[in-house]
Structure 1
Amino acid sequence: MGDVVRAPWGGYLLTGYDVCDQVLRGRNWLAPDFAWQERQSDTDRWDAIATQEMTKTLSRLNAPDHTCQRRSLGNLFDRSTIQRLTPHVERHVDRLLDGLAEGLRRGEADFVGLVGDRLPISTIGSWLGIPPEDHPAILEITHNQVHAQELLPTKRQLALSAEATVRLRAYFTGLVGRRRATPGDDVLTGWIRTWDALEPDRATADEILYRLTMFVTIASLETTATLLSTMVWLLSREPGQWAWLAEHPEHVDAAVDEVLRYDPPIHVNTRVAADDTVLAGVPIAKDSMVHVLYGAANHDPRRNADPALFDILRRGDHLTFGGGVHYCLGAALARLEARTLLAGLLRRFPTLRPAAPPGYASRMVFRRVTSLKVTV
């Protein structure tokens, strides 16, 4: 139907790799921030509590606010940080795979509940100093909160998101307060020092700190958990492929990249036109929404030949981590978790295979695997 397709609700669906890349990187394509929302007629959609709260986070900010907050974080997961985190991630993987082994001794086990959901919260939780006993609650709240970021959320989904947003705010505001009262040698304490220097009003600084901490946490959980479970499903559903990779672990990174291309954890991202423009020959009016379809872009045959074939040696291109100023902050961390987990699984469970197809949440934007039964 073309690279730019009119959507029934008035926006545009972007399907081609190049046009999606152009929008993600282009400075004249903006996140739908408060200024844009105030010009819309659908006030119920944009006045929802969860939507309002997420619009204050990095993913919905434009320059100069986005620039200031992003710089305050620095290069979150640079090479030295990843090197420091690697032994911690390895320990989390070993611990969780012990639990998976115990479950498999009983015949079959749910990979999502035992490993997929738990590795990201273990990693980001220990990095930020979130107590392990709080991890299950954070996971539950996050699963409900992301409904507000769906393309066309229902009233029920918005209500679930509203309740989750209130709980997230209470939790992370408390976390910032406790860390301010008892500083440590950790990331959050460093952010507190940075924003105390940037913002003379402590209440404003704490509000920004709460949003940064909350956003980094939930952005790390939902997407990485889906990546990990999708990775196991795609690689283990063909026994010969899993066995071959176990014998050739040097291709683990390539396998992770093909999973990211083939079935990205986020399928849709939205931008708005800063001015009247023309995109791939289609006139787009200022303030119009365009929806970047990551899965479609990654399967564009002009960029990746035979895109429906899952090929771990492809070394193809994908836009799964976005592009431009909003490129995913946690891309390097997600790769670290995925390759560490995959290497551990191949080493300890060379005959792992799915006992049933995965179950999925009823979502369009944030994919979520809810269950994946595996056996050996």
Structure 2
Amino acid sequence: MADPRPVWEELRALGDVVPAPWGGYFVTGFEACSQVLRGRNWLVPDFDWQERQPDPRRWREPATREMTRTLSRLNPPVHTFQRRALGNLFDRGTLEAMRPSIAGHVTRLLDRLALQLRSGGEADFAATVGDRLPIHTVGQWLAIPAEHYPRILDFTHRQVHAQELLPTKSELAVSAQATLEMRAFFTRLIAHRRRHLGNDVLSGWIRYWDDRYPDDRAAADQTLYDLTMFITIASLETTATLLTNAVWFLTRDPALADWLRRHPEHIDAAIDEVLRYDPPIHLNSRYAAADTLLAGVPVAKDTTVHVLYGAANHDPRRNANPHVFDIGRKGAHLTFGGGAHYCLGMALARLEARLLLGELLERFPTLRPTAGPTYASRMVFRRVTSLMVTA
């Protein structure tokens, strides 16, 4: 967890496509991973695929089924239908409209960080700022009252176990309970908003899907729940990890932090290098829609492949000296995915990171980590649980 780079390097030394112990393959090379993410003959493990497995019971856990209905686990034409309905969620106009409120959240959260630093000498950046900025951002965008934010974060952290590669029974039980809480919360939210429609994003979705399903309120409610729940929770842990990783990598080197403070025009490049160096998602899965070849390896229909973002981003054939953190490299990364499932919230995550780093570097020129980050024990979604800092 603290440093996955040796694991990526060892796997990549075995080839671009490496057999996994439980069947299927790890995909390690940049070009092979890009081919899987962008290719139309690679699909996400949806309900149909799950039912074709030798032991489909593995996929019938309530938390697993809940996530299988979301955009990240839908294939065309259903995925195409829902994604087109959303449009470009975070286009330039939307981001510019959101910028003042995000900047306000950044200032208030950094005020809280400053208070903790003055009173205690050190503070947990992850808990104080990193975890909180994404929920404040998406919560206000969807007009969710702020008193609900801690609860949303809590069930998001627990529900994510169901999206692990090999979850244990106890982890699935934790996810099942979190799923019940999540379903109750968003169901009530949508019902309340339908009774009090406004000019917010969620009200617009309600009007759209009620119009699409005029004679089937249950279908409209299910689609609204799936979209609202997924877009909310998908924007939290991944962005939080990006934000805390950025502070860790950029402030542990005082000279780099000082240079970036004096050259803020390079903040976007720094964000991209953070995303390349330590992606918030370590692994994503696809299956072959038909018998195919991947990097010269025969892959049978329905076989699962696991795209390793970190291994791909550290492929020396694509990024020279990949284990060197270099904000001037102008390299390439696959952290936001590709193809039909390219990350919906990419532009929003970048904006949050840009605004946070710009103000943090200016206000806290001597901010430094007092120790390395601590991490949740996961294989798929990276989560920094703590980063202690001082100024």
Rounded to whole Å, the distance in 1 between the matches of 2:171 and 2:63 is 10
Give the aligned residue type for 2:309. Y
Q: Give the match for residue 51 of structure 1.
A: 64
Q: Give the match for residue 246 of structure 2.
A: 231
Rounded to whole Å, the distance in 2 between the matches of 1:374 and 1:20 is 36
Q: Give the match for residue 169 of structure 1.
A: 183
Equivalent position to 2:358, from 327, 343, 363:
343
Q: Does 1:221 align with 2:243?
A: no
Query: By how many angstroms is 1:181 displaced?
Result: 0.4
Rounded to whole Å, the distance in 1 between the matches of 2:274 and 2:330 is 11
Q: Does 1:99 align with 2:112?
A: yes
Q: Give the match for residue 340 of structure 2.
A: 325
Q: Give the match for residue 302 of structure 2.
A: 287
Rounded to whole Å, the distance in 1 between the matches of 2:85 and 2:336 is 21
Give the aligned residue type for 2:198. G
Q: How many residues align?
A: 376
Q: Does 1:265 align with 2:268?
A: no
Q: Secondary structure at the match of 2:188?
A: helix
Instruction: Select between 321-330 and 40-49 the one with higher mean Cα deviation.
Output: 40-49
Rounded to whole Å, the distance in 1 between the matches of 2:246 and 2:129 is 12
Query: By how many angstroms is 1:44 displaced?
Result: 3.2
Q: Secondary structure at the match of 1:13?
A: strand
Q: Secondary structure at the match of 1:85?
A: helix
**Identity, % of aligned pairs?**
69
Q: Secondary structure at the match of 2:379?
A: coil
Rounded to whole Å, the distance in 2 between the matches of 1:324 and 1:79 is 21
Q: Secondary structure at the match of 1:287?
A: coil
Q: Does 1:108 align with 2:101?
A: no
**1:351-370 correspondence to structure 2 within 5 Å:** 351-370=366-385
Rounded to whole Å, the distance in 1 between the matches of 2:189 and 2:332 is 39
Q: Secondary structure at the match of 1:22?
A: helix
Q: Does 1:255 align with 2:270?
A: yes
Give the aligned residue type for 1:28. N
Rounded to whole Å, the distance in 1 between the matches of 2:199 and 2:359 is 30
Asked if 2 retains the 8 angstrom alpha-carbon contact of 1:72 and 1:191, the reply is: no
Query: By how many angstroms is 1:198 displaced?
Result: 1.4
Give the aligned residue type for 2:148. D
Rounded to whole Å, the distance in 1 between the matches of 2:354 and 2:55 is 43
Q: Give the match for residue 153 of structure 2.
A: 139
Q: Does 1:191 align with 2:212?
A: no
Q: Give the match for residue 194 of structure 2.
A: 180
Query: By how many angstroms is 1:43 displaced?
Result: 2.7
Question: Deviation digits for residues 22-65 of structure 1, max 9, x if unmatched?
Answer: 01000110000000000012333201110011000000000111
Question: Deviation digits for residues 286-339 of structure 1, max 9, x if unmatched?
Answer: 000000000000000011000000001111100000000000000000000001
Give the aligned residue type for 1:276. D
Rounded to whole Å, the distance in 1 between the matches of 2:50 and 2:307 is 19
Question: Deviation digits for residues 265-284 of structure 1, max 9, x if unmatched?
Answer: 00100000000111111000
Question: Deviation digits for residues 184-204 of structure 1, max 9, x if unmatched?
Answer: 110001111111121221111
Asked if 2 retains the 8 angstrom alpha-carbon contact of 1:125 and 1:132, the reply is: yes
Rounded to whole Å, the distance in 1 between the matches of 2:384 and 2:40 is 34
Rounded to whole Å, the distance in 1 between the matches of 2:114 and 2:34 is 42
| Structure 2 alignment gaps of length 5 or more | 1-13
Deviating 4+ runs (over 3 angstroms): none
Rounded to whole Å, the distance in 1 between the matches of 2:56 and 2:72 is 20
Q: Give the match for residue 23 of structure 1.
A: 36
Q: Does 1:243 align with 2:258?
A: yes
Q: Give the match for residue 8 of structure 2.
A: none
Q: Give the match for residue 148 of structure 1.
A: 162
Equivalent position to 2:171, from 124, 140, 157:
157
Q: Give the match for residue 7 of structure 2.
A: none
Rounded to whole Å, the distance in 1 between the matches of 2:220 and 2:357 is 39
Give the aligned residue type for 1:136. P
Q: Secondary structure at the match of 1:123?
A: helix
Rounded to whole Å, the distance in 1 between the matches of 2:39 and 2:144 is 36
Q: Secondary structure at the match of 2:357?
A: helix
Q: Give the match for residue 5 of structure 2.
A: none
Equivalent position to 2:222, from 200, 204, 207:
207
Asked if 2 retains the 8 angstrom alpha-carbon contact of 1:261 and 1:295, the reply is: yes
Question: Deviation digits for residues 199-231 of structure 1, max 9, x if unmatched?
Answer: 221111011101100000010001000110111
Rounded to whole Å, the distance in 2 between the matches of 1:44 and 1:340 is 45
Q: Give the match for residue 129 of structure 1.
A: 143
For the aligned residue pairs, the C-alpha RMSD in angstroms reads 0.7
Q: Secondary structure at the match of 1:139?
A: helix
Q: Secondary structure at the match of 2:235?
A: helix
Q: Does 1:36 align with 2:34?
A: no
Asked if 2 retains the 8 angstrom alpha-carbon contact of 1:72 and 1:195, the reply is: no
Question: What is the TM-score with the length of structure 1 in the denominator?
Answer: 0.99
Give the aligned residue type for 1:69. Q
Q: Give the match for residue 80 of structure 1.
A: 93
Question: What is the TM-score with the length of structure 2 in the denominator?
Answer: 0.95
